[in-house]
Amino acid sequence: MLPAILVATMTAQAIEIPHDQYQLDNGLNVILHHDDSLPQVVVNLWYGVGSKDEEAGRSGFAHLFEHLMFMGTVNLPDSGFDERMEAYGGWNNAWTSPDATDYYEAGPSNLLQTFLWMESDRMRDLARAMTQEKLDLQRDVVRNERRQSVEDTPYGIIWEAMSPALYPADHPYGHTVIGTHEDLQAATVDDVVRFFNTWYVPNNASLVIAGDFDAEQARKWVLQYFGEIPKVELPSRANPPERDTPQEAVVETTDNVQIPLTMITWHTPPALMDGDAAFDVVASILGEGRSSRLYADLVTDTGEALEISAWQYSQKLGSVFAVSGKPAGETTVEALEEKLQAHVTRLANDGPTEAELERVRNQLEVDFIGGLEGLHQRASALNRYHYLAGNPAYVNQDLERYRALTADDIKAAAATLTKERGCILRVRSSDGGAK
């Protein structure tokens, strides 16, 4: 067979994840990616609903609902979804983001039919088996997830603290995926049923089958299991409210940590849109690796920071660019912020060097190729590009966005960050430590 990803030379990588794409009459998008190098199969079912679609007072609900998807149906009650899958060597998981919810199963290739039956069964009929007991149980689990990942993880609160400053209260991204205890406790079984009937419909989903399987047989199973699930008209989504400009908030908060942290964020273009790739490169030049500008200056040379980072968090409705650092020694968070801002300004004024562009291009290419090495990663990428670009084959051309960037593009992107001081978050020790 041909390798799943074909790569030519380093100077002009030709990446291809071969796949077939089609739609059922009910709108379910289907993507088949064959790779028989190992006797395994992955099913990835992506629903176009995330925390951005939650109603007021129900923050965390999309993620809570994700948990409820594993609580059984009439046909496969209680913990049957996981029990049956694991009985034959399969495993599964899911994640929820502001934009989407993604479910995936992996296991030996003989489990494909089982995976498809299970996913179609809960897409068709989850609501009929929903109970208050299930909701209460998973509410407790999710609240413990919140305690573990937000409240008891050092700096776990940063996005919860930052979101109100970044977005208007009624913005789809104005709250975190995990939600608040209060909102989680307010969720009802009626909410669950309504959410399911609204969003968990075939025309809001995309199914990837990847791995060692017979394509003709897979198409039959997909049609048989999913084909009669009815299409439902999706609600129209209002445009998100405009944010305040210029955006120059300072948020002070505390956490159970010894070392303070500062983070500066700016709004940037949506995922895959013009400018998005340039900010990935800006982030890399500023903060990726020990030779990056922030690390070389603030950690290695001056010792003013213990840690720095920069990243572009790409999202469907609009992205966020961030730089952050933890001050060392007598350096204050305010002083560190000035240094971080100064580096952004310098990049905006002078642009990147050729050496920096070479480094970033090389790193992006290797990271991109390496990131598609696993079957699960490829399945997820196909669905992600289908969701964001409307075309899974975009995975084959995405690197071109980066290859086409010039020094002037990077300079221009950095320059937009200097027009506002951004939203600043300062996390200090709840023990009242200095700095």
Partner 1 sequence: MNPIWLALACAHTPQEPMINLTEPPAVAAAPDYVPPIPTEHTLSNGVRVWIVEKPGLPLVSLRLVIPGGSASDPTEAWGTASLSDELLSSGAGTRNATEFASEVERLALSLGSSTQASFSTVYLDAHTDRLTDGLALMADMILRPTFSGEDVDRAKTLRLGELAEASDDARTLAGWVMDKKYFGEQHPFGHPTEGTLKAVEALTAENLKASWKARYVPDHATIVVSGAVETTALLAQLETTLSSWAKAGVEAKTVPAPPLHTGEDRFYMVNKEGTSQTALQIIMPAPTGLDAASESAELGSIILGGTFTSRLNRLLREEKGYTYGARATYVGKPGYGYLLARTNVQKDVSAPALKDLIAELERYQGGIDKVELGKAIGSWQTSAVSSMESRSAIAGNFASVAAQGLPSSTLRDELDRAQEASIQSVNDAITASQLDNAVYVVVGDLAEIQEAVEAAVPVKWTVVDPLAN
By CB under 8 A, the residues from 261 to 280 that bind partner 1 are none
Distance separating alpha carbons of residues 43 and 58, to the nearest angstrom? 29
Residue 371 DSSP one-character state: T
- Contact range with partner 1 by CB under 8 A, out of 183-191, 254-262, 273-281, 342-350: 254-262
H or E element: which one contains 206?
A: strand 205-211
The one among 55, 358, 400, 420 contacting partner 1 by CB under 8 A:
358
Distance separating alpha carbons of residues 106 and 93, to the nearest angstrom? 9
148 in contact with partner 1 (CB under 8 A): yes
Report the site for partner 1 in 379-418 (rule: CB under 8 A).
Answer: none
215 in contact with partner 1 (CB under 8 A): no
Token pair belonging to 293: 């500008």
Distance separating alpha carbons of residues 96 and 85, to the nearest angstrom? 21
Please say which residue, 212 or 276, places its beta carbon nearer to partner 1.
212
- Contact range with partner 1 by CB under 8 A, out of 137-145, 240-248, 333-341, 404-412: 137-145
Report the site for partner 1 in 32-71 (rule: CB under 8 A).
Answer: 37-40
- For CA atoms 293, 296, 302, 305, give the dihedral sign: positive
Token pair belonging to 329: 């020694």
- Contact range with partner 1 by CB under 8 A, out of 252-260, 331-339, 340-348, 409-417: 252-260
287 in contact with partner 1 (CB under 8 A): no
Report the site for partner 1 in 296-355 (rule: CB under 8 A).
Answer: 296, 299-301, 303, 306-307, 326, 328-329, 355
At a CB cut-off of 8 Å and minimum separation 6, what does 236 contact? none
Please say which residue, 106 or 424, places its beta carbon nearer to partner 1.
106
H or E element: which one contains 124?
A: helix 112-125
Please say which residue, 89 or 390, places its beta carbon nearer to partner 1.
89
Distance separating alpha carbons of residues 201 and 97, to the nearest angstrom? 18
At a CB cut-off of 8 Å and minimum separation 6, what does 369 contact? 5, 7, 13, 15
- Contact range with partner 1 by CB under 8 A, out of 86-94, 164-172, 185-193, 332-340: 86-94
Report the site for partner 1 in 171-200 (rule: CB under 8 A).
Answer: none
